[in-house]
Amino acid sequence: MFFDGTILLLIPGMLFAFYAQWKVTSTFEKYSKVRTQSGRTGADAAVQLLRAFGAEGVTVEHVPGRLSDHYDPTKRVVRLSDGVYDSNSVAALGVAAHEVGHALQHAKGYMPMRWRWSLLGPANLGSMLAMPMAFIGLIMGRGGLWLLDLAIILFSAAVLFHVVTLPVEFNASARAYRHLTEANITSREEAAMAKKVLDAAALTYLASAAVALLSLLRLVLLRNSRD
């Protein structure tokens, strides 16, 4: 029922997701071994970039974990992980500059970031409820079509969140590459290496969007098969 032939639709997306995760991990590990000429750490670079490009009032903190780096817009904090905060590698500076890119998006009112933030609640709700509702709807047969319809609507919010995330992440990476050289934090060669780390990370966002879109398509096909 919920595990019929339509589940094959998810295989390309899952393979892409596995590849993207391997790519970002291996690329980060590779360029974590390349030290910058300046000797600046990820934390140093983040503080300098925040001041240089107009995100006053944003702080930089250490957060435990591996590649758990993120920007918290509610507290205006850039949080850098174990392998980034104290590291002076080109990979660390690339990740730090990317998270600063999000802080600058927030400071300058970057519209796609606002859209993503407004979609966060509906997306979380859709991700949590859509699949259980769809499963119950399938068990109920034709009487559960309304549940399938509702599941599709809810999950569409999650898909839209993933789609809107793409320009937000790509823009943050573009800012990171540009700002690293403009602020004289890295050489152009070092910035190009950092960009390879960010390009690999971008694949994970593409993979997430692909899996979400394929999952939505599968829900639509399952619903139509019961009509």
| Closest-CA residue to 70 (of 172, 162, 181) | 172
Whether 99 is a known active-site residue: answer yes
Question: Is the backbone of residue 39 left (phi > 0), alpha (psi -120 to 50) or beta?
Answer: left
| Closest-CA residue to 93 (of 190, 18, 182, 209) | 190
Nearest 5 degrees, angle CA 134-CA 140-CA 144?
60
Q: Are the C-beta atoms of residues 90 and 36 closer than 8 Å to each other?
A: yes
Beta strand extents in the chain (DSSP E only)? 59-62, 70-72, 77-80
* Catalytic choice (56, 61, 99, 190): 99
Q: Read off the amino acid at residue 73.
A: P
Q: Residue 161: CB partners within 8 Å, gap ≥ 6?
A: 116, 119, 120, 122, 123
Which tokens sit at 158? Answer: 């999650």
Q: Using CA atoms, how far apart are residues 42 and 27, in angstroms rounded to an integer?
A: 17
**Other CB atoms within 10 A of residue 220 CB:** 15
Q: Are the C-beta atoms of residues 206 and 20 closer than 8 Å to each other?
A: yes
Residues identified as active-site: 99
